[in-house]
Amino acid sequence: MIRFNVHVHPGSQRSSAGGSHDGALNIHVRARAVEGAATNEVLAVLASAFDVRVSSVHCVRGAKSQRKSITIEGDGDELTARLQVLLGD
């Protein structure tokens, strides 16, 4: 399992994960920040980016904020390597 921060950009033209903002992984989602729609899309985008099930991705802090703390269940070494690639390190 890994834990990291994301910076969410709701209302984007496309959904994607990549790059960093103040050490947090940038997540662009099409959904607006209304009634949890953006947070739900963030979890789906991360599941796709890390090739895990959506049920393995959890928002543990900041559900109503642009900056969220995320945990992903799985092989920590593989997930960490993928996170580094997404951050551009």
The class of domain 2-87 in CATH terms is: alpha beta
pLDDT digits (tens, 9 = 90+) for 3-61: 999 999 999 999 999 999 999 999 999 999 899 999 999 999 999 999 999 999 999 99
Instruction: Give the pLDDT band (50/70/90) at residue 72.
Output: very high
Domain layout of the chain by residue ranges: 2-87
pLDDT > 70? residue 89: no
Helix (H, G, I), strand (E, B) or coil at 22: coil
* pLDDT number for residue 17: 97
- CB-CB neighbours of 12 under 10 Å: 16
- CB-CB neighbours of 27 under 10 Å: 28
Q: Which one-letter amino acid corresponds to residue 1?
A: M
Q: Are 20 and 26 in contact (CB under 8 A)?
A: yes
Instruction: Give the pLDDT band (50/70/90) at residue 71.
Output: very high
